[in-house]
């Protein structure tokens, strides 16, 4: 398996992933298992993912697609959510649908900036 076609990557990037990383992982595993080619194409993805395709503005004709590992996708998303909630671990964990301790471990692994340990009422834990 070499990777994803440009159209498949655009489909994956355009879908909102309400099931978070687990849904994305299942989708990619299924596509890899079902494809008969060296590259996963849009036709290998579920219809609901293909239907949400939005071309990325950064992709120009002939420009290579920035394909990254699933772990990198997770890292970027976690750090983006973490920054969006003012580095509040409790709120970020709630939005991501994971336990705060799991989030803390991932933030440490990803080298995240200092995390706020304040709860919803502003008190320290």
- Average pLDDT, integer, range 67-89: 87
- Average pLDDT, integer, range 11-23: 85
Q: Is the pLDDT reported for residue 65 higher than 60?
A: no
Dihedral through CA 40, CA 109, CA 77, CA 41, nearest 10? 0
The CATH label, of 3.60.15.10, 1.10.8.60, 3.40.1190.20, 3.30.420.40, for the domain at 3-50 is 1.10.8.60
pLDDT at position 20 is 81
Structure tokens at 21: 């990383």
pLDDT band at 61 (very low <50, low <70, confident <90, very high): low
Domain range 68-125, CATH class: mainly alpha
Q: Do domains 3-50 and 68-125 have the same CATH topology?
A: no
- Average pLDDT, integer, range 100-121: 75
- Average pLDDT, integer, range 94-121: 79
Identify whether the C-beta of residue 10 lies closer than 8 Å to the C-beta of residue 48. no
Identify whether the C-beta of residue 17 lies closer than 8 Å to the C-beta of residue 70. no
């Amino acid at each position: 398996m070499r990777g994803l076609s440009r159209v498949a990557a655009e489909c994956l990037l355009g879908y909102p992933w309400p099931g978070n990383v687990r849904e994305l992982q299942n989708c990619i595993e299924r596509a890899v298992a079902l494809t008969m080619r060296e590259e996963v194409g849009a036709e290998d993805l579920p219809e609901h993912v293909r239907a949400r395709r939005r071309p990325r503005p950064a992709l120009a004709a002939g420009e290579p697609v920035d394909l990254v590992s699933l772990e990198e996708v997770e890292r970027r998303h976690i750090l983006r959510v973490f920054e969006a909630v003012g580095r509040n671990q409790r709120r970020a964990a709630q939005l991501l649908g994971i336990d705060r301790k799991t989030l803390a471990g991932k933030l440490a692994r990803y080298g995240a900036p200092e995390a706020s340990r304040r709860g919803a009422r502003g008190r320290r834990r």
